[in-house]
Amino acid sequence: MLELVIAGGWVMVPILLLAVGAIGIAVERAWTLRRREVLPPGLGEEVRQWAKGRQLDPRHIEVLRSNSPLGALLAAALDVRHRSREVIKERIEDTGRHVLHELERFLPTLGTIAAVAPLLGLLGTVLGMISMFMAILDAGVGDANRLAGGIGQALISTAAGLIVAIPALVLYRWFRSRVAGYVVEMEKEAIALVDAIEDHAVAGKARARGAAA
């Protein structure tokens, strides 16, 4: 393996660094984007019961906010639960942008790695071909070893770039798809909470009118 890296030329160094970066990002995102960490089971229903049962105080909301990305989104709605539906939705949308940014952390870097790695491989190919032609100019076509070195550098660097880029691109697309699915589910939970808050407010007004009558 070390011989292949050396044969690929100096371009192999940044390609290997990109490979290490891609592996690190993939492991971190796979751990962070676990479903139970982003969308804890039953959290949405529990928060709706809180809203309906008036089991809310600042401590409840702060614990919810630090619970998960879904918790942060629902806590934003509860912060302004006594205001109009439009205000609640605006707060959810504002918070949702921050939550989405956190969910997509490092993914642009992973996408960049997927784009840059094959370009570095192509650069290695060009350098290898240049090395081969320089060998031809210096010694003619009779020195097979020098020609093989240039061809080897070209092929090895190209293969290394593709080996890094293909998995990085697949993982980038997969993580983006996973995040998109989470966002849709969080939107559903947020809308359900807004409906529960509105229903609770309507029921409270009805009880107040009944008591006044």
Instruction: Identify the residue whose tokens are 């529990």.
Output: 46
Amino acid at 50: W
Rounded CA-CA distance 169/110 in Å is 8
- Tens of pLDDT, residues 88-106: 889 999 999 999 999 999 9
Amino acid at 204: G
Nearest 5°: CA angle at 64, between 203 and 104? 115
Domain boundaries, the chain: 2-207
The pTM for the full model equals: 0.83
- Tens of pLDDT, residues 23-71: 999 999 999 999 999 999 999 888 888 777 666 778 888 888 998 999 9
Q: Residue 124 in 3-state DSSP? A: helix
Instruction: Identify the residue whose tokens are 């995102």.
Output: 29
For residue 81, what is the DSSP state?
A: T
